């Protein structure tokens, strides 16, 4: 795996609120902010930290299904809407289902590597609360091979990952597996309560374990092998971050200790027309993570924190195994033993992840990068964890569809 030919940095991250049913501001009967509101808020939030739009060379925006959720395509045209000084600058929109945000990051990184840009404003956005969840499920099914839609569950992707959970139950035991999934949910809620923009920030449940235990998977009301607490939430929101070269940092007056350097990445694609080779393994994540680690020249033991794509709790369990923290079948115990909690062996999803913070699909990959930037530069506020000096690296894993598109990125603080 080749090394990066030029240094790449990320800085000036910004998240809007992840809007949905967990927020007190959310009222399905009242008109809510549209797509352009979130794009502008996130974009301006980053521009204010880098000296304004005059310092930006290019723009990139990740989004999955605005054409159906919002009847709005052509999202690159909204980047100049953020600020008039972005008018006439090259902008790109990326789409890769739930990995659309990370693909926008890759677009910006490649522009910096190609020396066509020194500063790229990168935004990820989705507004999904425009329709009821059962209808939204049909839209989200486009992240899979839509030819299979009529044979899938009404809630298509919960059905896909319910099948993964059942395969795991059949192989290793349902009661055993759900102990790990239960702890994954508890971790997500506890971490989200520390992040003011998280959808579950205001979650007041006194006994999260009892709440989870009281919701037994029931195929008559939802899907066979997951409950609703195993699922990420329908979310509206956007995140933005600036991708820069060393020259870009100088132009914007940003010291390296306020940026993270990208030291490795892996971008991998699986054939969407075929079933996963093994429902109990996230094969594409495994390959993407391996490529990123190889490029960075590190191992998983050098990582201080990771943002994984826990669209469902079973995906979180399987991610620990794909990364190599646990052997196949041992991921549920690894999580149940609190190894992935914020004070555990490898803190994962420190602001709640997709289940706790929320999952505005096209925005998730950028939100993950913002979280790692905050953690590695000490800007995470109440959600801040300790970053050991001998483990200065962070990692993001953004997955599109059922382990089809995966982008893994490894970061370290810019001055280290």
Residue of 344, 322, 334, 325 lying closest to 408 (CA atoms): 322
Strand partners, 392: none
Burial of 277: CB neighbours in 10 Å, binned 0-12, 13-18, 19+: exposed
Which positions ≥6 away from 414 have C-beta within 8 Å?
A: 9, 11, 249, 255, 256, 257, 258, 259, 260, 261
Q: Which pLDDT value is given to residue 2? A: 67
Q: Which pLDDT value is given to residue 29? A: 85
Rounded CA separation 37/364 (Å): 17
Q: Which pLDDT value is given to residue 89? A: 98
Q: Which pLDDT value is given to residue 384? A: 98
Burial of 25: CB neighbours in 10 Å, binned 0-12, 13-18, 19+: exposed
Q: Which pLDDT value is given to residue 133? A: 87
Low-confidence ranges of the chain (pLDDT < 70): 1-2
- Reduced to 3 states (helix: H, G, I; strand: E, B; else coil), residue 36 is helix
- Per-residue DSSP letters for 130-189? TS-HHHHHHHHGGGS-GGGGGGS-SSHHHHHHHHHHHHHHHHH-HHHHHHHHHHHHHHHH
147, 150, 153, 155: CA torsion to nearest 10: 80
| Token pair for 25 | 């501001």
| Token pair for 87 | 């008018």
Phi, psi for 413 (deg, rounded to 5): -60, 140
Rounded CA separation 290/294 (Å): 6
How distant, in Å, are the alpha carbons of 351, 378, 385 from that of 382? 10, 10, 9
Which positions ≥6 away from 338 have C-beta within 8 Å?
A: 183, 187, 344
Q: DSSP label at 3? A: P
Domains and CATH numbers, the chain: 8-132+234-259 (3.40.47.10), 150-232+264-352+376-413 (3.40.47.10)
Q: Which pLDDT value is given to residue 109? A: 98
Q: Which pLDDT value is given to residue 3? A: 80
Phi, psi for 89 (deg, rounded to 5): -95, 150
- Reduced to 3 states (helix: H, G, I; strand: E, B; else coil), residue 33 is coil
Q: Which pLDDT value is given to residue 323? A: 98
Q: Kindly report, residue by residue over 130-178, the tens digit of the pLDDT.
A: 998 889 999 999 999 999 888 888 899 999 999 999 999 999 999 999 9
Let me know the angle formed at the C-alpha of 229 by 226 and 235, rounded to the nearest 5 degrees: 115
| Token pair for 139 | 């839209």
Q: Which pLDDT value is given to residue 30? A: 86
């Amino acid at each position: 795996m080749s090394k990066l030919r030029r240094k790449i940095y990320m800085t000036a991250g910004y998240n809007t609120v992840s809007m949905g049913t967990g927020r007190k501001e959310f009222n399905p009967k009242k008109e809510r902010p549209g797509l352009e509101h979130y794009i502008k808020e996130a974009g301006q939030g980053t521009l204010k930290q880098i000296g304004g739009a005059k310092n930006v060379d290019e723009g990139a925006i990740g989004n999955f299904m605005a054409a159906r959720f919002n009847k709005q395509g052509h999202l690159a045209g909204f980047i100049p809407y953020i600020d008039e000084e972005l008018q006439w600058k090259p902008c790109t929109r990326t789409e890769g289902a739930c990995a659309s945000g990370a693909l926008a990051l890759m677009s910006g990184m490649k522009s910096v590597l190609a020396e066509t840009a020194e500063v790229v404003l990168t935004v990820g956005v989705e507004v999904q609360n425009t329709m009821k969840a059962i209808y939204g499920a049909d839209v989200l099914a486009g992240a899979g091979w839509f030819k299979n839609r009529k044979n899938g569950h009404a809630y298509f992707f919960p059905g896909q990952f319910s099948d993964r959970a059942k395969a795991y139950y059949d192989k290793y035991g349902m009661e055993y597996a759900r102990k790990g999934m239960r702890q994954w949910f508890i971790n997500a809620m506890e971490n989200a309560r520390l992040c003011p923009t998280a959808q579950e920030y205001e979650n007041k449940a006194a006994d999260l374990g009892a709440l989870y235990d009281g919701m037994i998977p029931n195929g008559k009301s939802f899907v066979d092998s997951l409950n609703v607490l195993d699922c990420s939430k329908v979310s509206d929101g956007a995140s933005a971050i600036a991708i820069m070269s060393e020259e870009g940092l100088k132009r914007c007056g940003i010291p390296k200790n306020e940026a993270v350097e990208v030291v490795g990445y892996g971008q991998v694609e699986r054939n969407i027309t075929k079933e996963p080779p093994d429902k109990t393994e996230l094969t594409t994540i495994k390959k993407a993570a391996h490529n990123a680690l190889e490029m960075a020249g590190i191992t998983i033991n050098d990582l201080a924190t990771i943002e994984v794509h826990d669209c469902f709790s079973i995906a979180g369990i399987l991610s620990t195994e794909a990364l190599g923290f646990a052997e196949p079948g041992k991921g549920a115990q690894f999580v149940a033993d609190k190894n992935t909690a914020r004070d555990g062996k490898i803190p994962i999803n420190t602001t709640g992840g997709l289940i706790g913070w929320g999952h505005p699909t096209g925005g998730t990959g950028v939100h993950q990068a913002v979280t790692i930037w905050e953690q590695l530069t000490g800007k995470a506020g109440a959600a801040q964890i300790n970053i050991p000096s001998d483990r200065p690296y962070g990692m993001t894993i953004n997955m599109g569809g059922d382990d089809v598109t995966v982008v893994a990125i490894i970061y370290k603080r810019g001055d280290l």
